[in-house]
Amino acid sequence: MYFIDWCDLNMNPKIEKLVKQFAKLPRVGNRAAQRIVLSLLQDKTGRIEKLVDALVDANENVHACPICGVLTDRSAERCEYCSDIARANSMLCVVRDLSDVWTFEKSGVFGGRYHIIGGLLSGVAGVTPEDLNLANLPARIANEKISEIIFALPNTIEGKTTQQYIMSIIDNANIRFSELASGVPLGGELDYIDDGTLSLAFGGRRTI
Amino acid sequence: MYFIDWCDLNMNPKIEKLVKQFAKLPRVGNRAAQRIVLSLLQDKTGRIEKLVDALVDANENVHACPICGVLTDRSAERCEYCSDIARANSMLCVVRDLSDVWTFEKSGVFGGRYHIIGGLLSGVAGVTPEDLNLANLPARIANEKISEIIFALPNTIEGKTTQQYIMSIIDNANIRFSELASGVPLGGELDYIDDGTLSLAFGGRRTI
């Protein structure tokens, strides 16, 4: 509906094209895209040039690490995490995308290797095992002498299905599989916890 | 604080540079910038190229209309609004920036000309009359035979100060000055109206 309104705005076509590109970005609506475009075009400090430079540089020189899938320099053989010898080799954390890696890194709770699968199996969305970054996973486990795989996938049907599938293709008795604990978040009040979470927290209750 | 945390993320420098550029945009925080960058870099449909094209095109070929200040094609002598012969010549609406023009155009309440002043006088921010797009305003009023100037500036101290200043430099007895009415918004409940607005609405009460 808002898009139709634009016809009446007499907006300059070049500006409209730019607004539409920004409005396609996640979490950016039409109003925010208009604000962004105006602030960029009215700026005198070369922010557009800097943004364009950064976009072109990242687009041309960043690719997914062939080992773990983390986005990294095309010139580097492997990413920052795969080449960091200080990280524990024996533990591998399976995550959906790079933002999950950043979340772990910010928390500092994990010092092992990552494997980004790039999505979740889904019949509805038509995501099959071939669409995920799984082909090199068995070889990786052997090469890197991994002894524990930690699944940090979303706590949803798709996440759990994907986890089960990955466990089935690895099929190695020497590997310990684990997943993140489910339960009440830190600072969480029981009033605000949904039934599913409460049920998981109750089932996984600890003796103190 | 969040910026400091980035040091621990081991984020690829090219990606970090791009995230920082997006995080500078209005209404885009660090988390949203990370999401945007990931979605762009993981996209296979050439969205980065399209965004870069639109940015470069707008940056090189858009400038402020020399008459009214609306951003328009550099190749055009005047903007869409100034060159539209269907618009009333006698009424001039003074606004702060282009987004205000779009707000008016969306509503369809005004069919005259616009004049974008590009800011508001402010002692605190150090904005002086020379910083505003006012130099050609007196000549414009004479050339275009304008008979009414409608101020649609923010209803703030700066907005009212700017309005008073513009009235003082025009100083033409044949011009009618007007401003947008202040009062209770359509659908506004009195409970949620601040005292200042209520006072203005009371002072401007109409006989029915």
How does residue B8 score in pLDDT terms, banded at 50, 70 and 90?
low
pLDDT above 50 (res B5): no
- B25-52 per-position pLDDT tens digit: 998 988 899 999 999 998 889 999 999 9
Residue B118 DSSP code: -
Q: Where are the alpha helices (DSSP H) in A29-187?
A: 30-42, 47-61, 98-107, 137-143, 157-170
Determine the residue among A3, A9, A55, A71 to mutate to test chain B binding: the one whose Cβ has the most chain B Cβ atoms within 10 Å: A55
Residue A50 DSSP code: H
pLDDT above 80 (res A13): yes
B207, burial (CB in 10 Å: exposed 0-12, middle 13-18, buried 19+): exposed
Q: Which domains does chain B have, with CATH numbers?
A: 85-207 (3.40.1360.10)
Task: Please give the pLDDT value at position B43.
Answer: 86
- A81-120 per-position pLDDT tens digit: 999 989 988 999 999 999 899 888 888 888 899 999 999 9
Q: Which of B12, B20, B15, B19 is nearest to A80 (CA)?
A: B12
The CA distance from B154 to the nearest CA of chain A, in Å, is 17
- The answer to whether A112 touches A93, Cβ cutoff 8 Å, is yes
ipTM score assigned to the predicted complex:
0.78
In this complex, the residue of A39, A51, A70 whose CB is nearest that of residue B55 is: A51
Whole-angstrom distance, CA of residue B206 vs CA of residue B182 = 12
- The answer to whether B113 touches B87, Cβ cutoff 8 Å, is yes
**Pairing between β-strand A113-116 and β-strand B176-179 as defined by DSSP bridges:** unpaired
Beta strands in B120-174 (DSSP E): 148-151
- B111-147 per-position pLDDT tens digit: 899 999 999 999 899 999 999 999 999 999 988 999 9
Task: Please give the pLDDT value at position B107.
Answer: 83
pLDDT above 60 (res B179): yes
Angle at A157 between CA A156 and CA A160, to 5 degrees: 85
Beta strands in chain B (DSSP E): 62-64, 71-73, 91-95, 113-116, 148-151, 176-179
Binary contact (B12, A99; C-beta < 8 A): no
- A14-63 per-position pLDDT tens digit: 999 999 999 999 989 888 999 999 999 988 899 999 999 999 999 999 99
- B155-177 per-position pLDDT tens digit: 899 999 999 999 999 988 889 99
| Bridge partners of residue B179, in order along the sequence | B151
- State which residue of chain A sits closest to B22, comparing Cα positions: A51
- The answer to whether A97 touches B38, Cβ cutoff 8 Å, is yes
Determine the residue among B19, B21, B132 to mutate to test chain A binding: the one whose Cβ has the most chain A Cβ atoms within 10 Å: B21
Binary contact (A24, B11; C-beta < 8 A): no
Task: Please give the pLDDT value at position A103.
Answer: 86
pLDDT above 50 (res B1): no
How does residue A5 score in pLDDT terms, banded at 50, 70 and 90?
very low
Residue A122 DSSP code: B
User: Would you tell me which residues 51-110 of chain A have a C-beta closer than 8 angstroms to some C-beta of chain B?
Assistant: 51-52, 54-59, 61-62, 70-73, 79-81, 84, 97-99, 102, 105-106, 108
pLDDT above 80 (res A1): no
Whole-angstrom distance, CA of residue B68 vs CA of residue B149 = 13
- The answer to whether A78 touches A115, Cβ cutoff 8 Å, is no
Contact list in B for residue A22 (CB cut-off 8 A) is 51
Task: Please give the pLDDT value at position B56.
Answer: 96
- B76-93 per-position pLDDT tens digit: 888 989 999 899 889 999
How does residue A9 score in pLDDT terms, banded at 50, 70 and 90?
low
Residue A134 DSSP code: -
Question: For A73-88, what is the mean pLDDT?
Answer: 89
Q: Which of A17, A49, A15 is nearest to B56 (CA)?
A: A49
How does residue B2 score in pLDDT terms, banded at 50, 70 and 90?
very low
More confident residue, A173 or B164: B164
Interface check A111 vs B, CB under 8 A: no
pLDDT above 50 (res B4): no
The CA distance from A44 to the nearest CA of chain B, in Å, is 11
Task: Please give the pLDDT value at position B183.
Answer: 84
pLDDT above 80 (res A4): no
Task: Please give the pLDDT value at position A3.
Answer: 46
**Pairing between β-strand A91-95 and β-strand A113-116 as defined by DSSP bridges:** parallel
Task: Please give the pLDDT value at position B92.
Answer: 94
pLDDT above 60 (res A173): yes
How does residue B9 score in pLDDT terms, banded at 50, 70 and 90?
low
Q: Give the strands of the sheet with A176-179, arranged side by side.
A: A113-116, A91-95, A148-151, A176-179
Binary contact (A25, B9; C-beta < 8 A): no
Binary contact (A52, B59; C-beta < 8 A): yes
The CA distance from A98 to the nearest CA of chain B, in Å, is 8
Task: Please give the pLDDT value at position A172.
Answer: 83
Binary contact (A17, B47; C-beta < 8 A): no
pLDDT above 80 (res B6): no
User: Would you tell me which residues 150-179 of chain B have a C-beta closer than 8 angstroms to some C-beta of chain A?
Assistant: none
DSSP for B27-41, written as a single string: T--HHHHHHHHHHHH
The CA distance from A3 to the nearest CA of chain B, in Å, is 11
User: Would you tell me which residues 10-49 of chain A have a C-beta closer than 8 angstroms to some C-beta of chain B?
Assistant: 10-12, 14-15, 17-18, 20-22, 24-28, 32, 34-42, 47-49
Task: Please give the pLDDT value at position A8.
Answer: 52
